[in-house]
Chain A
Amino acid sequence: MFSFIIKRLLWAIPTLFGVSLIVFFMVHLSPGDPALALLGDHANKESVEKLREEMGLNKPLYTQYYLFASKAVHGDFGNSFKSKQPVLGEFMERFPATMELAMCAMILAIVLGIGAGIISAIKRYSIFDYGSMFIALAGVSMPVFWLGLVLIYFFSVSLGWLPVSGRLGYEFYVENITGFYLIDTILADDYAAFWDAFKHLILPAVALGTIPMAIIARMTRSSMIEVMKEDYIRTARAKGCSVFQVVMVHALRNAMMPVITVIGLMLGTLFAGAILTETTFSWPGIGKWIVNAVYQRDFPIIQSATLIIATMFIFVNLIVDLLYALINPKIRLS
């Protein structure tokens, strides 16, 4: 197992190196001079030249890459072109908002997805099965941003039950402790604010959770159907176990292996969805921040966000692989 971990860790290095190269060359591939982009079209020659010097753009490419990479390793991603603030600080400020949204969406997707998948597998070819699998397929085809808009129209504009956008109503103030408003409001004993934060979360979480839910439901169904054919399930039934016991104790545990992998790898889907969902709901997270940075050609933000997210991605995949190997000895021994 130890050598497996080392091998997988070493594998991550060239991938990270490749991502950093893409991110580094981004600025150099884009048309126009970054210094000119930063100062605006009306800047005079001297100030552009001075800034080029400061940014190190006059140095050879490999020196520039070395400087960029060594700074990035130390967590220094430079300052935003627009706000002049350190990019990492801005990232960390917005990261909890995205995490809170993504985690709520994921919990929703796991609970509903696995539930629907199990019932579909047991009641195979029933109306419920056809219905939930059609919804699952529809869920995969759903443009999240459109679903978000439709939800806003029905639940916020027409019915007035839930807020349209943002994380918290203007009348509330939450002291930033963890950055997760649901937790911070409880820590502050402010239950009115908690309820408001919760209400703000519902629609974006439903919109964001739909695609993962659909994928998990389909995966659980097919995996459960496979497992239910196994001999040990027949044995469990013959022993006199109830259907509930057979499904929950004997089948589900074994059927969950591929589902867990899919859940682990769903981070990408979630993140992609977060960019669109955050724009729809004006959710002040990473997704909206990146999109704004693209409008403003704020390259340090796009660069650092890509690098940080890709690094997180690589490590999550690594953890999923390791967990999988831990559960399934066939993989780690092969």
Chain B
Amino acid sequence: MQNENRLLEFIKHFKKNKSAVLGFFIALLLVTFALFSPLIAPHLPNIQDLSARLIPPFWEEGGSIEHLLGTDDFGRDLFSRIVYGARISIMVGTISVSISLFFGLTMGVFAGYYGKWIDAIIMRIVDIMLSIPAILLAIVIVSILGPSLYNAMIAIGIVGIPTYARIVRGSVLAEKEKEYVIASRVNGSNNLRLMFKVILPNCTTPIIVQATMGFASAVLEAAGLSFLGLGAQPPMPEWGAMLADSLQFITTAPWMIFYPGLAIFLTVLGFNLIGDGLMDVLDPKLKAKA
């Protein structure tokens, strides 16, 4: 009952934040595209039709309603590729954030809970990772593993670990001296239970906010790596890779540039807006610090 009330209250506050609601609808659209791509997309993403090369969007001269946003240099339907690309973006965001979360949470909880030398070692590793700019670290990892979408996801996941580790460590440090933790310890809870069952559930707010924003930056970084040719490889309908293909057609087929980029931008914006809104609703103090 209490949980239900809290959820209702959360929804009430979240609804008041117009930009967060906008973000929510953008995310909903993305998920719809991803789940129902075969139903929404009029064509298959990789089907080439050389007789329909470089057709402009339907509202421009020479465009046709069959290809809403036009076609690329292989005659593939741009709208369909963007719709199918939503699947890749959601996969990239989910897998990368899961990798970062799993390792970041574990490292942060151990560092915050045990303190002393364990904390020192873990935080040193975090410092080392943070001393290399994120995309450079991702490039280094991809150069070791080889360029592919899966390796890019792993690289982005690894790059995100230190941020979560720091946030979780800070929250655990603040929580672990509180009375409910001491009470649980007196009741006989062991360290693992204290860390993951007692303390961690009380540190979720900043983690949820970071995971939402982290989803946005994972999508952005993956698109960046694919744009550089180090992530998704052709003919995969990944938005960043589509932009890389479009470079040579900037004068003849500018629509190839506009729409895949717009898709990346809206997706990232949507999740950032939700993150911002969550920060407002869940923890206004956090917002003041950001």
A residues adjacent to B (C-beta < 8 A): 14-15, 18-19, 22-23, 26, 29-31, 134, 137-138, 140-146, 149-150, 152-153, 157, 222, 226, 267-269, 271-272, 275-276, 279, 290-291, 294-295, 297, 299, 302, 305-306, 309-310, 313-314, 317
Contacts and interface: CB of A to CB of B under 8 A. Distances in A.
Nearest to B264: A143
Secondary structure of the A contact surface, majority rule: helix
Interface string B226-266: 01111000000000100100110011001001101110110
Interface stretch (B36-44, B73-81, B140-148): B140-148
A134 B136 CA distance: 29
Given A149-B250, A294-B230, A271 B131 contact: no
B254 A153 contact: yes
Given A134-B19, A294-B143, 19 more contacts: A18-B125, A18-B127, A19-B131, A19-B132, A26-B144, A137-B19, A137-B276, A141-B265, A141-B268, A143-B265, A146-B257, A150-B257, A153-B257, A157-B251, A157-B254, A279-B227, A306-B140, A309-B133, A313-B132
B259 to A, nearest CB: 10
B250 A313 contact: no
22 contacts: A15-B127, A15-B131, A18-B127, A22-B132, A29-B144, A137-B276, A138-B265, A141-B220, A143-B227, A144-B224, A145-B224, A146-B260, A149-B243, A149-B246, A153-B250, A267-B133, A269-B133, A272-B134, A276-B135, A276-B224, A297-B143, A309-B136
A142 B265 contact: yes
Contacts of A22: 128, 132, 140
Name the residue among B127, B216, B243, B272 with the largest chain A CB count within 10 angstroms: B127
Contacts, number: 135
Interface of B: 19, 124-125, 127-128, 131-136, 139-140, 142-147, 216, 220, 223-224, 227-230, 240, 243, 246-247, 250-251, 254, 257-258, 260-262, 264-265, 268-269, 272-273, 276, 288, 290
Contacts of B273: 137
Contacts of A31: 146
Contacts of A299: 143
Contact of B144 (A15, A30, A134): A30
B89 to A, nearest CB: 12
Please list the 9 inter-chain residue pairs (A to B) with the smallest Cβ-Cβ separation, ordered nearest first: A146-B261, A18-B128, A141-B269, A272-B135, A141-B268, A268-B133, A30-B144, A294-B143, A271-B133
Name the residue among B228, B229, B254 with the largest chain A CB count within 10 angstroms: B228
Contacts of B143: 26, 30, 294, 297, 299, 302
Contacts of A143: 220, 223-224, 227, 240, 243, 261, 264-265, 268
Contacts of B125: 18
A141 B140 contact: no
Contacts of B269: 137-138, 141
B124 A14 contact: yes
Contacts of B258: 150
B63 to A, nearest CB: 18
Contacts of B146: 31
Contact of B131 (A150, A302, A313): A313
Given A19-B128, A157-B251, A272 B133 contact: yes
A31 B262 CA distance: 37
B232 to A, nearest CB: 14
Contacts of B240: 143, 145
Contacts of A144: 224
